[in-house]
Amino acid sequence: MIRTILYSFFLLFTFSLGAQDLCSSDRLVEPIFEEVQVTNNVVFDAGIGPFNNDIDLVMNIYEPAGDELERRPVIVMAHGGSFVTGSRNNPVMVNTCTELARRGYVAASIEYSLFPFLVLGQPDSTDLINVITKAMGEMKSAVRFFREDGLGENQYRVDPNLISVGGYSAGAILACHQGMLDEDDVIDSFVQDAIDTQGGFANLGNRLGVSDEVLSIFSIAGSVYEVDFIDENSTPIYSGHGNADETVPYVFGLTGGVVNSHGSFNIHQEYEAQGIENQLFTFEGGGHSDIFTEAIFENDLLEMYENFFVWNKDQICGLLSSNDELAVVETSIFPNPTDGELNFKFGNDLNSDYTIEVYNQIGQQMFSSQKFSNQTAQINLGSMNNGLYLVKINFDENYHAITRRIVIANN
């Protein structure tokens, strides 16, 4: 599956304005907002608690106070703790989300399922892979939460196309797998069994009809189980890591004393080999937690964050500007309202193949067509319920995707 940013219903009509507001100012790089508004305990999924009990998973959402921009980029952050402990109130998460919000992001510090070691003791490698897999689904749920909000009520005024993930330590491991692992990868049976236990890729997390694709990854002391997960489908990544880290390896080794994984250096090397956008910041002599606590790393830490702010703004503005370079083809969609039969007619200048998708109002895909190449096409939606839908036409090249609202009124 080629990793693309889906559900660009609103972005199609606001590229120029969004690019101007986000990309032609100090926004996203400089702390232009003095105060930050925090909404605590927002429920986004269900998980496992420390006593092997069912719990509501919550997040704290950070927004720039006084901001008037209607659509803002989002970064979903996850705490560390070796998948046995940790909290959304971890100081690294609080400080990171606060600084992101001061620069105009909507940032969220999420909680996720942890291995219930208070009941079951220390996890072995199978236990750890199982809980990581469940937590992966929960990070996907958080991404879908914001995308669904951006496509609907938009309480948090987010751009559903500009969602990134990140974290520290265990949370960074989740973010790395979110952006690198997909069902087309060759996966060890050890890992595949854990995914199957959760119902397979199609059933990780909730809000399953909404895309969990992300724009970028912000990994601090993160790793990935296999570098072979990295391919042309992988998401651009910015990594920060100490090269003397003995908890999550900088290169390769035992992670948390349980499972081997590839750290930021190997991730960087594979991204370079694949020609995928990435950046690695190395804390020379830095370990796992001392990069946040020791004065010797204070300047390096500030530099890492400053570099990330610039790098991630480049990812956002690159997406916005690349879409500005595309042409718009003349398109007619009729009849509207329709009883199910929908016709498409394009201008004579059409020179690209295209596909047609139909979504309901919360972004769930209800229909996907074969590939067309003619200037006319027809689809039948007679089996769908009456109501308002969004039709999206995706072109292989040259043109902006086109999104139109239609009404199905099937007597």
pLDDT digits (tens, 9 = 90+) for 181-232: 998 899 999 899 999 999 999 899 998 888 899 999 999 999 999 999 999 9
Please give the model's pTM, rounded to 2 decimal places: 0.80
Burial status of residue 209 (CB atoms within 10 A of its CB: 0-12, 13-18, 19 or more): middle
The answer as to whether 2 is a domain residue is: no
Q: Please give the share of the chain, as a percent, with pLDDT higher than 70.
A: 93
pLDDT digits (tens, 9 = 90+) for 381-400: 999 999 888 899 999 888 87
Q: What one-letter code names the amino acid at 377?
A: A
The answer to whether residues 261 and 378 belong to one domain is no
CA distance 159 to 138: 20
The answer as to whether 217 is a domain residue is: yes
One-letter-per-residue 3-state SS of 116-165: CHHHHCCCCHHHHHHHHHHHHHHHHHHHHHHHHHHHCCCCCCEEEEEEEE
Residue numbers of the domain that contains 34: 11-324
pLDDT digits (tens, 9 = 90+) for 22-48: 888 899 999 999 999 999 999 999 999
Domain end position, chosen among 324, 347, 363: 324
The answer as to whether 1 is a domain residue is: no
What CATH number should be reported for the domain holding residue 335?
2.60.40.1930
Average pLDDT over residues 68-90: 96
Q: What one-letter code names the amino acid at 395?
A: F
Domain end position, chosen among 309, 324, 339: 324
The answer to whether residues 276 and 351 belong to one domain is no
